Structure 1
Amino acid sequence: MWVKICGNTNLADAQLALDAGADALGFVFAESKRQVNALQVRAILQGLSRPVETIGVFANFSFDEIVKAVEESGVTGIQLHSGGDPALASRLQAHFAGRLGWENLRLIQVVHFGSDLKTQVEAAADPAIDAVLVDSRVGKLLGGTGVTFNWREAQSGFRSGSGLRLVAAGGLNPENVAEAIETLHPWGVDVVTGVEESPGRKSPEKIRAFVENARSAAHRMEIAERVEA
């Protein structure tokens, strides 16, 4: 189970998530209460005790703007919320291919839950996309709302057998992440609001509980799948 703690704004919170066992740390370059810039992110990454996967979150950024932010910050992955260029992901993949530090660049495309989730996911996942993140949509807000989508309605989309890596997001917290995993069987989970004390400030207890509960639920799911097989 890939666990991403997103919306990091300072070294202490990022190190906390790393120590708790997160697989990836997210940094929001898009307009947000948790927005950071490339120089801030670089300083955070340089202060971490060990390397970890890091994802820059972008919305309505051009190719050049994303490249500049990634190169200046040093993040190892890109999360795309929207954009008018349908070839953006493949252009980014080609630009960073083989470059030191970005050999395994992860490209994540976000879709917002709708009744046609299976179609949304299939449309979002071109060959350059490594994973599709399914989030809630509240008004014009792109994420970090703390609102869940209907997991029961999303089951068929998550279990469509497409082979795509699907990440569940939107309103997850330590109390409900196990239910989300057991219902959706996602490849990964992503959390922002659910582990915060306030926007941009993490709760140590909530981060540790979230990671622990996600890992435990994933372990139970794996055991159940082996028994059924």
Structure 2
Amino acid sequence: MKKIKICGLKRREDIEYVNKYQPDYIGFVFAGKKRKLTYDQVVDLKKYLTSSIQVVGVFVNEDISFVEKLVKEHVIDLVQLHGQEDQKYIQALKEKVDVSIIKAIQIKNEDSFNEHYDVDYYLYDHGTGGTGESFDWSMLKEVDKPVFLAGGINLLNIDDALKKNVYALDVSSGVETDGFKDEKKIKKIVRRVRNEG
């Protein structure tokens, strides 16, 4: 069965929703504007999160020492790199932390699947991420790592996404209404992934 990640949580209510419906992963974003959180905000929200849900920290070209701090203080369980981090950066990070690393790859065309990094997972997204748009999923290719599929997944296309040979689905704007996480949408999308209706 596919895993499900709900990304971009910002509020105490968002934590209550995920505690109730139990996705496999949630994401706290440390970049951008729309969903960016500070260290203190994430530490506070994490206090209320059920321990069975794994926390992914989402970073864009972040200083390695900050990522290391979050991992060593057990604020996050996995690291997602969503910028221009190269293999040199990844190697330096791996020397500091011992957690799984997800590397986001922007799918622009078929050549995008030829990018390779020494990480645990790939995340395929449309453009820079956070756009709420999907890339052409028919381009998906078999690769040698588990893949998180992201970008514009919502209740209208979740059934198509579930047919793809990927490890996990990563949903953010697809479970929002007016820019905020929507409990009913989270409930429905988690249940669809778990085949519970």
Q: Could you say whether these structures have the same fold, taking a TM-score greater than 0.5 normalized by the shorter chain as the test?
A: yes
AA at the equivalent of 1:148: S
1:40 equivalenced with 2:41 (yes/no): yes
Contact 1:109 1:124 in 2 (8 A): no
Residues in 1 aligned to 2:74 and 2:33: alpha-carbon distance in whole angstroms: 18
Please point out which of 183, 189, 194 is paired with 1:210.
189
Q: Which has the higher helix share?
A: 1
Amino acid at match of 1:23: D
Distance between the aligned counterparts of 2:40 and 2:73, measured in 1?
Answer: 7
Tell whether 2:108 aligns with 1:114: yes
5+ residue gaps, structure 2: none
Aligned residues: 195
- CA deviations over 1:51-100 (Å, ceiling 9, x no partner): 42101110121222322344467111111012354222232222123xxx
Which SS does the other structure have where 2:37 is aligned?
coil
1:93/1:185 Cα in 2 relative to 1: closer, same or farther (>3 Å)? same
* TM-score normalised by structure 2 residue count: 0.89
Cα distance in 2 for residues equivalent to 1:90 and 1:15: 36
1:71-220 paired onto structure 2 within 5 Å = 71=72, 74-97=75-98, 105-117=99-111, 120-126=112-118, 129-137=119-127, 142-152=128-138, 154-155=139-140, 157=141, 160=142, 162-182=143-163, 184-199=164-179, 201-216=180-195
Rounded Cα–Cα distance in structure 2 between residues aligned with 1:208 and 1:14: 13
**In the superposition, relative to structure 1, how do residues 49 and 37 fare at CA in structure 2: closer, same or farther (>3 Å)?**
same
Counterparts of 2:104 and 2:50 in 1: how far apart (Å)? 29
Q: Deviations over 1:92-136 (max 9, x none)?
A: 222123xxxxxxx2210001112225xx3453331xx11100001
> Aligned pair in 2 of structure 1 residues 6, 86: CA closer, same or farther (>3 Å)?
same
Q: Distance in 1 between matches of 2:113 and 2:16?
A: 32
RMSD over aligned Cα, in angstroms? 2.0
SS in 1 for 2:66: helix
Give the alignment's TM-score, normalised by structure 1: 0.78
Query: Which amino acid is 2:169 matched to?
Result: V
Contact 2:71–2:97 (Cα < 8 Å) also in 1: no
Q: Return the offset for 1:46.
A: 0.9
Quote the Cα distance in structure 2 between the aligned partners of 1:112 and 1:83.
10
Q: 3-state SS of the aligned residue for 1:216?
A: coil
**Does the 8 Å CA contact 1:196/1:203 hold for their aligned counterparts?**
yes
